[in-house]
Amino acid sequence: MEALFFNGINGATGEYLLSGLEPHDISKIALGEKIDKKHLDELKWRHNQVTEATLAVKEGVDPKKLAESGWGVIFSSDSNTAIKEALKPLLEHRRAQAASQKPAYYKEYAGADGYRLGESKQQFLARHGAGPGPVDPEKVPYYLLIVGDPEIIPFRFQYQLDVQYAVGRIHFDTIEEYARYAQSVVEAETKSLRSSRTAAFFGVRNPGDRATKRSAESLVQPLTESLTNTQPEWKIATFLAQAATKAQLSHLLGGEGTPSLLFTASHGMAFPSGDPRQLPHQGALLCQDWPGPLAHQGPIPEEFYFSAEDVGSDARVLGLISFHFACYGAGSPKFDDFAHQAFSQPVSIAPHAFLSRLPQRLLSHSKGAALAVVGHVERVWDCSFSWPGADKQLTVFESALTRLMSGHPIGSALEPFNERYAELSSDLSAELEEVKWGKTPDDVTLAGMWTANNDARSYIIVGDPAVSVASML
């Protein structure tokens, strides 16, 4: 097995976040994995559910229809009431859709009903009459929008909830940004705004860089070719290698070339805790402008990467759904998700957990906001799209994008990612149990399972999980 690679660059030094890791090193870390039994039971249920060909919602419920699947919003118990007021247009819009047949299919979890600090997914659901199993919208709606800081409502809660439900999150610095997002979603879904079936795939391949070579050649290019064949009604443009410049990305993120659906694959920028660029630039997209690790040494200048500050005041992103395959593309935890198992003490990588500023900027633009951004919390691995001995593994990406292009809301479209996480976690726990009882671990197998499990868990939706490109077409 070859070494495994991250798609991430330390902007302060110009070096990789981690060098390629060998299977033996990863295997040793995996053997220290601590399993949450309740969460594992949930994952095993989800894996069984998939193998029995059932959906996340109970039988007979159409996930494309909010009147059947339901919609809810989760605030923290002490959330600022001004945020809820700013979101009022979106809440009223979703209430009209989800409660058109049964009022119970629309829920607001706030105040005493909201998320309580330190609460697990199981505890939250139990308080509201729901347990494991297919989603029953009369108890808790299928689509759930978390509103809040990941320091208050942790990413961990979102990961766990997303195994069973279709979950998204928004968090902004100002009340005005919440209002802009709410107004934009309503405008995109109710007014005469129409967008053509256009998709753009942007794949960086920096010279001398192993990670972007793999993502360009084994993810973006074959994914584009496959969807071009299976989605003939969509006009698909591809920008690879030398075409994947910062100027081109600016054209796709607010310029005249902005599509309905954008997929990018690149390194994500990362900065050490305390660096003034961490909060504004973590998760920014490193473009083809970077000449690669052999030709450039030292800190990465801003002209090489696309950050929130590069989304101009005149950008037109209303209705866009964007998927960023990049380290920290969606957010950052406070503690290193990788190192916590390698060391006895947590390793702090940021002053606090936060959503990346680029998706926040796209979802709060004053000229009309994007609908959703899909990205990764923490570092992303190349095992997202490859597997030892099996080469390219694109089924999850193909399935999710096909569902999205066929009219599924983004939360439902991403179910293949949740299914993969459930399967990998079940397999990993079984392997670790066998090792515990005397089996000699196979480094290649264990390393692949562990990295793929952690990677699959951390894809999240920034935005309302009920938005879709269909509402724009």
Which residues are registered as beta bridge partners of 98? none
- Measure the CA–CA gap between 382 and 455, rounded to whole angstroms: 9
Answer yes or no: is pLDDT of 46 > 70.
no
281 or 25, which is more confident = 281
Q: Which two tokens stand for residue 49?
A: 């559910």
Mean pLDDT over 314-337 rounds to 93
Q: How close are the terminal C-alpha atoms of the chain, in Å?
A: 44
Contact 61, 140 (CB under 8 A): no
280 or 421, which is more confident = 280
Residues 332 and 209 occupy one common structural domain: yes
Answer yes or no: is pLDDT of 37 > 60.
no
What domain range is 160 assigned to?
Answer: 57-190
Tell me, yes or no, whether 51 lies in a domain. no
Residues 75 and 218 occupy one common structural domain: no
Quickly state the pLDDT bin for 473 (edges 50, 70, 90): low
The confidence score (pLDDT) of residue 191 equals: 80
Residues 119 and 64 occupy one common structural domain: yes
Contact 288, 348 (CB under 8 A): no
The confidence score (pLDDT) of residue 104 equals: 85
The confidence score (pLDDT) of residue 445 equals: 63
Mean pLDDT over 17-31 rounds to 52
**DSSP string for residues in 239-277:** EEGGG--HHHHHHHTTSTT--SEEEEE-EEEE--TT-TT
Q: Which two tokens stand for residue 153?
A: 């409502």
Last residue of a domain, one of 190, 224, 253: 190
Tell me, yes or no, whether 366 lies in a domain. yes
The confidence score (pLDDT) of residue 331 equals: 97
pLDDT over 70 percentage in the chain: 78
Residues 177 and 324 occupy one common structural domain: no
Region of poorest pLDDT, from 15-19, 86-90, 152-156, 282-286: 15-19
Question: Chain centroid to CA 307: how far?
Answer: 17
The count of structural domains within the chain is: 2
Tell me, yes or no, whether 47 lies in a domain. no
Last residue of a domain, one of 131, 156, 190: 190
Residues 145 and 262 occupy one common structural domain: no
The confidence score (pLDDT) of residue 193 equals: 59
The confidence score (pLDDT) of residue 343 equals: 47
- Measure the CA–CA gap between 85 and 271, rounded to whole angstroms: 35
Mean pLDDT over 230-256 rounds to 96
Query: Which pTM does this prediction carry?
Result: 0.88
Residues 184 and 63 occupy one common structural domain: yes
Residues 12 and 82 occupy one common structural domain: no
Residues 119 and 235 occupy one common structural domain: no
Residues 334 and 459 occupy one common structural domain: yes
Mean pLDDT over 64-79 rounds to 96
Tell me, yes or no, whether 371 lies in a domain. yes
Quickly state the pLDDT bin for 186 (edges 50, 70, 90): very high
The confidence score (pLDDT) of residue 31 equals: 52
Tell me, yes or no, whether 44 lies in a domain. no
32 or 196, which is more confident = 196
Answer yes or no: is pLDDT of 451 > 90.
no
Tell me, yes or no, whether 99 lies in a domain. yes
Beta strands 331-332; 354-355: pairing state: antiparallel
Residues 151 and 227 occupy one common structural domain: no
Mean pLDDT computed over every residue of the chain = 85
Q: What is the CATH number of the domain that holds 149?
A: 3.40.50
Residues 325 and 426 occupy one common structural domain: yes
Residues 149 and 138 occupy one common structural domain: yes
The confidence score (pLDDT) of residue 52 equals: 38
Mean pLDDT over 248-261 rounds to 96
Would you say the C-alpha torsion 179, 181, 185, 188 has a positive or negative sign?
positive
For 375-415, the pLDDT digits (tens) are 999 887 766 665 555 555 688 899 999 999 999 999 999 99
For 105-148, the pLDDT digits (tens) are 999 999 999 999 999 999 999 999 998 878 999 999 999 999 99
Tell me, yes or no, whether 41 lies in a domain. no
Q: How far is CA 424 from CA 95, 318, 410, 459, in A?
A: 36, 36, 22, 14
Last residue of a domain, one of 134, 168, 190: 190
Tell me, yes or no, whether 40 lies in a domain. no
Region of poorest pLDDT, from 37-46, 301-310, 362-371: 37-46
For 72-102, the pLDDT digits (tens) are 999 999 999 999 999 999 999 999 999 988 8
Contact 373, 460 (CB under 8 A): no
